[in-house]
Structures are given as structure tokens and as C-alpha cells.
């Protein structure tokens, strides 16, 4: 039976017209009949109970959920692994068949199957009816009188059919959407042809003066900068003017680095004069403290109103914003002195972006791993105007961008839905999106609110919805580092399957790699080597006089006596095996035969400068093979230079074999999901 959403909507409309939030039991029963969902309150206790819900969330709008019911629903969610307790998806980004595929991962569905019940056809019809209702009443719909708040169904399997044993439905007030931001002006923010800065001290080294020095030091031409400073003609060789009104041209970008109390009047002047396309609000304290929340909300409302004017008004990044590094725009507006961040050898073409609600997150990530080397780095701040969804939507369509790393503390109203849409668009455009979400515990939520005036919602909901949209979700900051780096290093490599080849000269590493192939929701497997590969590896071992010590298998422990050439020749043999889809090779730097030191006192010349060293042999090996190849240098500071030389040449290097393999498994899972998304009609 096709859902009659018009009839269902009339039931909701009647309750809204009478000012009621909750539907009566007869109304709920009539609603289910209209949707074609069987209701049977007399079924009683069933062997398998589960719950299905369509709920309106502040961040993602209407979300479809299904999972544990009965006693299981009363358990702490931490008792369940990912996707086992419940699954969630933004209603807009799923369909009935897709959501049934998600639900099959849960313990509830596994119990249905184990008890011999097969209600999948009925489940799919139920999911389809709820999604049809969601489509008819989308969150934030202009002109709507009410919002569907929640439709929750307690269900039981009964053979091949589905029975709803209890149900409740409520409606509520709409979440008001702000006006759309003119996100095309982000181009002015990133590639300004004219730039202004306000707040520069003529006598001291304040934040604005450091920003000015960084702008010039990173290559932005002085003649295209204007300092807004009454009473001064120039500072550090850069011209000054008294005010926005005194400008004889329109600025692409204005950087505001003044006291927070001075921001309010300045923003009004920016809107009134229409002399600026994009604004960067550096100051903190706007909306992060109880005293500032009301005036900050009023400021955001005035900015929002300006977007209704012809041309859309200026866009604002921040407040509480570290700034932007734009290599194509030739500027660095961070207030961190350039000397305090590492400067590795740069890639000829940067293809990554980092977006972060916390500027310090970007600084520490870059400090730990300068090979991330993004093309753009933007501190989002407290989203007074531009949001996570806006920025990701912009970069989702940029052909030069391949990898996007994002740190989030919280979303503005319904921006989680915009963000999920942008994730889906980016992944379908061949990009990789890596996300770390903070604020997953009660103390973390309080910390996020105090930091950037964000509201951190349910982490389980966030993780499920955004991962379903296509993103790679990092569970920890370390996982983010690993995934963002790996995604950039391996972008464009062919991942045909999930079969791993693992090579090491140390037994513990070989075992650790085999143990790290399960992400919880996906598992790689150890590939079975072809006979020809086994023979080829045996020949390599025989040449190196290691054949009597090593049994050829996968994973393989090739003995500490193996030199650089042996490691890499066996790695290439594995790469060329049709039963292997990716290879992790531990390079055993402490082994005496491996040329891993900057210089050797014991064996002069037996070091990374030797043409026979891994530093020289591995880059061409990685380049001539399409499959992912990851090297592991699990050793201390003596081997930093070996790792750095390889990473400078684009070789993917990890300093721990378990981290390398875990990150690879998460990456392969994401690539398989992306391949499925690419098949779906847009």
C-alpha cells in the first residue's frame, strides 16, 4: 500500500490547529493506517523487540533511526559497538532499501534473523512510509505551520510480518533557518585582490601587528594592503587610512583584530558602507560568555538581515577565529609568528583543506605532522555567519581539492543537515572528508559551549549520520592525524578490495598488523598469496640467504637479517599479486642490514644517503604501483630523518604498524562506501 502522506498530514495539521503538541492514541493509529503501517497493540511481548523513530533534531532536521527495543533500549549505549545498538541517517540522504541495509548491522536485526523471523519486506515498507512523511514535512520548511517532532514506533517481529505494538507522535515549533549566505564570496576571502586590517598597533606587537607581519612575510604584496588607523599614514611600510568611509575602493577582505566590544559598531559600519566583500572576525568573547550572548545574537541577526539585500551583503568568518592560511591567496593571517611552525619541503601541488572550529587544533596538528601541508587552513570560530556547512559546500565543488579535514565542536540550527549534504556532494565528487567531533561527553559539551559558543549534540547521532553521508569519522585526535594524512597520501590509489598484504622483519609487527584490520564496522582480511608470488618471494629470500629462516605466508616475518632491497622487493611482489589490494611494510630501521641512519660510525656509508637505501628505492616503487603502499618506521628520533626524507618524496610513512593498519582499514571502508554512493542517482 502506498503511503497516503496527504491524509497523514491532515491529521498532523488538525492537532497543530488545536494547539496540541501530542497526538492522541486514536490519532496515532489513524496516522499509521494512512502510512500503511500495521498497528497491533494486542500482540503482547514478542521474542524480538526493536524501535523505529522519525525524529526532528536541531542539527540534522528529520532523522530516521532504528535499533534496540524492549529491555535493550534501557541499556547504556556504551554497551553496544558502533552500529550495533542503533543506526541513524538524515531522512533526506537515505531511502528505504539503503536504511534497511544499515539496520541489518544492528543486534535487533540479527536477533530477528536468529529467531527465524524475516520481516525485511515489511521493514522496508515501514522505512519508506516514514521517509515519505519526512519528505512531505521537511525540517525548516518555509511557510509550514508546525514541525513533525517525533514519530516513535515500538515494533515486534512476527514471522515474515512486522507488528507495531506501541506508538507515539508529537509536533512542535519550526526551527527558523537564517537567510542563505552568499558563499560564492568565500572566493574573495581566500583569494583577495585587496585586503584591509583594523586593530594594528603603531607602537607595540599586538595580535593585529603580528598578523600584518605574517601577511607580508607570507608573500602578500604590501601595496594591496590598507591599514584602518586614524592618525597614521603608514605602519611597517603599509599605508594607513582613517576609516572604511575614507576608502577609495572596495576591499575583498577585511581582517578585524580589535577588542570584542569594538566589533559591534564596526560590523554595523561594514554593513552600512558596503565597502567589504568578506570579513574575518578575530576577537574572542562574542557569544562565549553569558554577558556577551545576547549582544552577539543581535549582531548575528543584523549580519543575517544584510544577506537579504541586493548582492547578499558581506560574509563573516568567525568570531573567535585564529584566521586563514591561503597558499593560492599568498597570505597567512594567523596571529602565530611564522617562526613557530615547521617548514618541511612543500608539495608541488597542495590538494588538502583543513577547516577547524579551533585554531589551536590546526596549529598542533600541523606542528606534529607538517606533511599534512593543506592548500587552505580556515579557523571557523563560533560561526556568527559562515558555518561548517557553508565552507564544506564551497570546497565540495572545487576541482583542485582532494582531501578535506574538519574539526567540529557543534552546529548551528539545521547546519548539520547542510553539512551532511555537503559531505555527500564532496564524496560523490571524488573527495575524501575526514571529521573529528569534540564535545561527546557532558564535560566536553560544556567545554565546547564555552570555547566557541557551540552546542554539541548527541555524538552517537552525529557519528552515524555524518558517516552515512560519506565522511571518515576519527574517534580520537590521533585517529584524525592518521586518517587525514593517509587520505592525502593515498588519494588516487586504486582500492579494488579489502585484502591486505603485511610484511615485517619483526614477528610482533606482523602479528600487530593482522590484529589491526578490524574497525568495528568493517574488517579487512589477509590476502592469500598466489603460488607465483610465493615462488617469487622464495627466490628473493634465497638470493639474500634467508630462505632457510623464513616461511612465506601473509603476514610474513622476513627476519631481521633482511636489508632494504629485500623489504622492498617482497613488497613489490605482494603489490603485484592479484589477491592483494594494499600493502603495509614495516621497514625495520633498527635492523643492522637496513640503511636507516643519517650516518653510521660502525659502517661508514651504510646509511640513508646510500643509493641502495630505502630512502632512494621506495619512492619509485610507490610511484609505479597503483595500489596503496604504506611504510612503517617504528623507532625513535634517530630515524626521524629517514621518515622525513621519504615523506618529503610523497611516500606514506607511519611510525607505528598498528596505527598504519587501522587507518588503512578505515580508509578502505570509506572508499568502498564512496564507490557505492557514486552508483546512486544524484
The domain locations on the chain are 5-172, 183-489, 493-677
pLDDT of res. 337? 76
Terminal-to-terminal C-alpha distance of the chain: 26
CA distance 17 to 505: 73
Averaged over 519-526, what is the pLDDT? 89
- pLDDT over 70 percentage in the chain: 94
Q: How far apart are CA 628 and CA 124, in angstroms?
A: 37
Report the alpha-carbon distance of residue 234 to residue 202 in Å, rounded: 9
Higher pLDDT, 596 or 338: 596
With a pLDDT cut of 90, the percent of the chain lying above it is: 74
Question: Is 666's pLDDT higher than 60?
Answer: yes
Identify any residues that bridge with 226 across adjacent strands, giving them in sequence order.
196
Q: pLDDT digits over 670-681, tens only?
A: 999 888 888 877
Judge whether 130 and 97 are in contact, CB under 8 Å.
no
DSSP 547: T
Answer whether 570's CB lies under 8 Å from 556's CB.
Answer: yes
Residue 335 has pLDDT above 90, yes or no: no
Write out pLDDT tens, residues 364-415. 998 888 888 899 999 999 999 999 999 999 999 999 999 999 999 999 999 9
What pLDDT does residue 82 have? 85
* Residue 464 DSSP SS3: helix
- Output the CA–CA distances (angstroms, integers) from residue 589 to 185, 306, 491, 569, in the order listed: 49, 60, 26, 16
* 211 pLDDT more than 90: yes
Cβ-contact 595, 626 below 8 angstroms: no
**Which homologous superfamily does the CATH classification assign to the domain defined by 183-489?**
Succinyl-CoA synthetase domains (3.40.50.261)
CATH 3.40.50.150 given to domain 5-172: no
493-677 falls under which CATH superfamily? Succinyl-CoA synthetase domains (3.40.50.261)
Strand 499-504 relative to strand 525-526: parallel, antiparallel, unpaired? parallel
Report which DSSP code applies to 22: B
Identical fold, 183-489 and 493-677 = yes
Q: Give helix 388-396 / helix 415-428 axis angle, nearest 10°.
A: 20
Helix (H), strand (E) at residue 468: helix 459-469
The answer to whether residues 249 and 233 touch, using CB atoms and an 8 Å cutoff, is no
pLDDT at 370: 86
Q: pLDDT digit string (tens) for 544-595?
A: 999 999 999 999 999 899 999 999 999 999 999 999 999 999 999 999 999 9
Q: Over 60: is that where the pLDDT of 450 sits?
A: no
486-518 burial string, b = 16+ CB within 10 Å, else e? bbbbbeebebebbbbbbbbbbeebbbbbbebbe
Q: Report the pLDDT averaged over residues 345-352.
A: 73
CA–CA separation, 216 vs 99, rounded Å? Answer: 52
Higher pLDDT, 380 or 79: 380
Do residues 66 and 169 make contact, with C-beta atoms less than 8 angstroms apart?
no
Amino acid at each position: 500500500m502506498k503511503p497516503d502522506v496527504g491524509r497523514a498530514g491532515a491529521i498532523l495539521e488538525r492537532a497543530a490547529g488545536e494547539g496540541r503538541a501530542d497526538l492522541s492514541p486514536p490519532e496515532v493509529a489513524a496516522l499509521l493506517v494512512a502510512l500503511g503501517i500495521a498497528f497491533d497493540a494486542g500482540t503482547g511481548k514478542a521474542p524480538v523487540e526493536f524501535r523505529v523513530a522519525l525524529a526532528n533534531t536541531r542539527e540534522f532536521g528529520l532523522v530516521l533511526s532504528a535499533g534496540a527495543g524492549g529491555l535493550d533500549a534501557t541499556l547504556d549505549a556504551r554497551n553496544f559497538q558502533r552500529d550495533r545498538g542503533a543506526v541513524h541517517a538524515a531522512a533526506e540522504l537515505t531511502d528505504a532499501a539503503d536504511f534497511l541495509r544499515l539496520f541489518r548491522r544492528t543486534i535487533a536485526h540479527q536477533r530477528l534473523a536468529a529467531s527465524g523471523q524475516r520481516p525485511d519486506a515489511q521493514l522496508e515498507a515501514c522505512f519508506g512510509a516514514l521517509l515519505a512523511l519526512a519528505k512531505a514535512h521537511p525540517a525548516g520548511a518555509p511557510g509550514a505551520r508546525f514541525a513533525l517532532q517525533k514519530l516513535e514506533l515500538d515494533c515486534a517481529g512476527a514471522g515474515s510480518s512486522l507488528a507495531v505494538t506501541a506508538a507515539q507522535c508529537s509536533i512542535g515549533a519550526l526551527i527558523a533557518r537564517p537567510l542563505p549566505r552568499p558563499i560564492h564570496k568565500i572566493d574573495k576571502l581566500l583569494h583577495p585582490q585587496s585586503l584591509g586590517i583594523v586593530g594594528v598597533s603603531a607602537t607595540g606587537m599586538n595580535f593585529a601587528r603580528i598578523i600584518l607581519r605574517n601577511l607580508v612575510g607570507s608573500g602578500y604584496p604590501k601595496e594591496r594592503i590598507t591599514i584602518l588607523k586614524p592618525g597614521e599614514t603608514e605602519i611597517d611600510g603599509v599605508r594607513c587610512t582613517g576609516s572604511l568611509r575614507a576608502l577609495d575602493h572596495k576591499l575583498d577582505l577585511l581582517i578585524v583584530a580589535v577588542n570584542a566590544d569594538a566589533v559591534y559598531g564596526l560590523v554595523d559600519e561594514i554593513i552600512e558602507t558596503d565597502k567589504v566583500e568578506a570579513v574575518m572576525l578575530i576577537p574572542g568573547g562574542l557569544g562565549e560568555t553569558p554577558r556577551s550572548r545576547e549582544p552577539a545574537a543581535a549582531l548575528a541577526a543584523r549580519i543575517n538581515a544584510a544577506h537579504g539585500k541586493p548582492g547578499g551583503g558581506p560574509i563573516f568568518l568567525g568570531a573567535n577565529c585564529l584566521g586563514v592560511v591561503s597558499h593560492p591567496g599568498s597570505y597567512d593571517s594567523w596571529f602565530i609568528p611564522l617562526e613557530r611552525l615547521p617548514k618541511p619541503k612543500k608539495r608541488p601541488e597542495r590538494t588538502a583543506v583543513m577547516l577547524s572550529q579551533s585554531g589551536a587544533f590546526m596549529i598542533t596538528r600541523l606542528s606534529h605532522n607538517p606533511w599534512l601541508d593543506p592548500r587552505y587552513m580556515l579557523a571557523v570560530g563560533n560561526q556568527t555567519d559562515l558555518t561548517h556547512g557553508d565552507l564544506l559546500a564551497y570546497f565540495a565543488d572545487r576541482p583542485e581539492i582532494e582531501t578535506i579535514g574538519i574539526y567540529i565542536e557543534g552546529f548551528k540550527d539545521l547546519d548539520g543537515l547542510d553539512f551532511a549534504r555537503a559531505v555527500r556532494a564532496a564524496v560523490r565528487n571524488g573527495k575524501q572528508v575526514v571529521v573529528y567531533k569534540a564535545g561527546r561527553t557532558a564535560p566536553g559539551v560544556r567545554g565546547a559551549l564555552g570555547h566557541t559558543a557551540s552546542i554539541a549534540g548527541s555524538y552517537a547521532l552525529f557519528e552515524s549520520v555524518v558517516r552515512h553521508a560519506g565522511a571518515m569519522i576519527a574517534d580520537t585526535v590521533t585517529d584524525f592525524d592518521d586518517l587525514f594524512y593517509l587520505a592525502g597520501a593515498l588519494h588516487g590509489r586504486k582500492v579494488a578490495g579489502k585484502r591486505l598484504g603485511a610484511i615485517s622483519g619483526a614477528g610482533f609487527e606482523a602479528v600487530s598488523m593482522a590484529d589491526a584490520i578490524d574497525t568495528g564496522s568493517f574488517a579487512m582480511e589477509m590476502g592469500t598469496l598466489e603460488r607465483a608470488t610465493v615462488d617469487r618471494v622464495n627466490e628473493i629470500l634465497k638470493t639474500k640467504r634467508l630462505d632457510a629462516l623464513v616461511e612465506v605466508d601473509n603476514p610474513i616475518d622476513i627476519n631481521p637479517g633482511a636489508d632494504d632491497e629485500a623489504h622492498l622487493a617482497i613488497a613489490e611482489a605482494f603489490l603485484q599479486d592479484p589477491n592483494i589490494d594494499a600493502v603495509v611494510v614495516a621497514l625495520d630501521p633498527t635492523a643492522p642490514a637496513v640503511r636507516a641512519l643519517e650516518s653510521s660510525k660502525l659502517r661508514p656509508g651504510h646509511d640513508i644517503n646510500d643509493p641502495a637505501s630505502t630512502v632512494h628505492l621506495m619512492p619509485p616503487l610507490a610511484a609505479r604501483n597503483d595500489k596503496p603502499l604504506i611504510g612503517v618506521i617504528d623507532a625513535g628520533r634517530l630515524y626521524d630523518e629517514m621518515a622525513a626524507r621519504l615523506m618529503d618524496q610523497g611516500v606514506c610513512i607511519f611510525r607505528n604498524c598498528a596505527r598504519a593498519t587501522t587507518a588503512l582499514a578505515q580508509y578502505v571502508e570509506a572508499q568502498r562506501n564512496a564507490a557505492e554512493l557514486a552508483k546512486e542517482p544524484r
